[in-house]
Amino acid sequence: MKSLDVDAVRTFVAIADLQGFTRAAEALATTQGAVSVKLRRLEEGLGHRLIERTPRAVRLSAQGALFLEPARAFLSTHEQALSSLGGGRRRFVLGIAAHVAGPEVPILLARLNAHDPCLTIEVRLENSRVLLDAFDRGELDAAIIRRDEDRRDGEILGPEHFGWFAAPQFERREDEPLRLAALSPACGVRDIATRALDQAGIAWIEVFLGGGSSAVDAAVSAGLATSAFSRRLAPAGTVDISERFGLPPLPSSEIVLHSTLTDPKSKAALRTIVSAFREHRGAIR
């Protein structure tokens, strides 16, 4: 009867999630050679090749793709069994910027919980500046934010592209300022948008300010105003009006992960976050 080695299965999942042996070794606090050995033993025990490795890419084989989700479930059950015997729960506080949080967030949190069921995950949604200040004060274990112009640290998770969006029926007379909806004066995306308008010599006025992202989405969707949005997070039913109204292009930014955690379990959790985020955005490197 075949049996599964927990460390070997964990190694396989890390390679699959992180798309590489080097990243998996870093997350597991081991060496690339040890990762290769554990994977080879697992494949030999199962009688199937799970990972296809070429000079340019690391990807799942057909058998590996079939095995991945059962492997995750196996690891989750193993962690739950250990925690039931007295292992204490750990707290993980994650900040996610409101202009970053998208459809990948539930997937990210589910992946993190499956990776380590002993984690109590707390999530804070704020604008990037508030979260960066909280991270610097030690209130957050990790923060996923839009890159701050004054800082170049943090791990890049992917690019963020912006555009001007409004309801299809939105209209603007030439003799009136552009009607804007914005989250708050502290919103970094607001700064990007208003600076671009000022540089282009386009008059603007904020007719809807505050109330949270859902309220801004509602105002834009109703045709009351336009606003700058990440292209992946524009409200459903809105359209890009940049060309129609001659609005200036908006500079792209980057989404970055900030964290100072160094212990192996926390580093593995962080790699899980990075993997889930990049996987959903189609930006795995």
Tell me the two tokens of residue 170: 């939105």
Residue 86 has pLDDT above 60, yes or no: no
Q: How far is CA 268 from the centre of its chain?
A: 16
Query: Average model confidence (pLDDT) for the chain?
Result: 82
Task: Give the model's pLDDT for residue 163.
Answer: 93
Residue 176 has pLDDT above 80, yes or no: yes
Task: Give the model's pLDDT for residue 284.
Answer: 32
Residue 277 has pLDDT above 90, yes or no: no
pLDDT tier at 117, thresholds 50, 70, 90: low
Average pLDDT over residues 83-101: 72
Global confidence as pTM:
0.63
Task: Give the model's pLDDT for residue 84.
Answer: 60
SS3 143: strand
Going from the N-terminus, what domains does the chain have, and what CATH number goes with each?
6-85 (1.10.10.10), 90-144 (3.40.190.10), 162-251 (3.40.190.10)
Task: Give the model's pLDDT for residue 36.
Answer: 92
Average pLDDT over residues 242-247: 92
List, for residues 26-50, the tens digit of each pLDDT value: 777 788 899 999 999 999 999 999 9
Task: Give the model's pLDDT for residue 285.
Answer: 35
- What b/e sequence results for 182-211 when a residue is b if at least 16 CB atoms lie within 10 Å of its CB, and e otherwise? bbeeebbbbebbbebbeeeeeebebebbee
Task: Give the model's pLDDT for residue 127.
Answer: 81
Residue 168 has pLDDT above 90, yes or no: yes
